[in-house]
Amino acid sequence: MLALVALGAAGCPRHEPSPTPEPAQPPIAEGTLPPTGTPEFAIEGITSTRSDDGRELYVEGLVRNTGSRASRDVKVWVDGVDAHGTRLARAEAFPSPQTIPPGSSGRFVVRFPNDEAIRSFKVEAIGR
């Protein structure tokens, strides 16, 4: 006589593999970004000096970065004007250094023909 015995796993629960948990998402938060800032310029220390032979006039000064980030591509225009504010001469310069950190200055020098009618100077600086 042959007996067939079936053993089952009725006493052992069958375990399915656990699903991999999803990674936790970081919380979303909103905030205000700080301003990127810009360079802003102030002209300081303008002086003029005549050459030894009296034929040229040298004008020099400082461009101070009063903004909140470093400057680049700075250019300065200097106008020599008469007593009525009429421009008699114009020269441009690139201050050194060209990269001016906030609170620092770059120096510029321009040269004009010596004209006795020039009474003052108008200086303008631009940059990024």
In a domain, 113, yes or no: yes
Q: 13 in a domain, yes or no?
A: no
> Does residue 15 lie within any of the structural domains?
no
> 119 lies in a domain?
yes
Structurally, how many domains does the chain consist of? Answer: 1
pTM: 0.69
Instruction: Give the structural domain span for 67.
Output: 41-126
> What's 83's domain CATH number?
2.60.40.10
Q: Is 73 left (phi over 0), alpha (psi -120 to 50) or beta?
A: left
Tell me the pLDDT of the chain (128 aa) as tens digits.
444 444 455 555 566 667 777 777 777 777 776 666 788 999 999 999 999 999 999 999 999 999 989 998 999 999 999 999 999 999 999 999 999 999 999 999 999 999 999 999 999 999 98
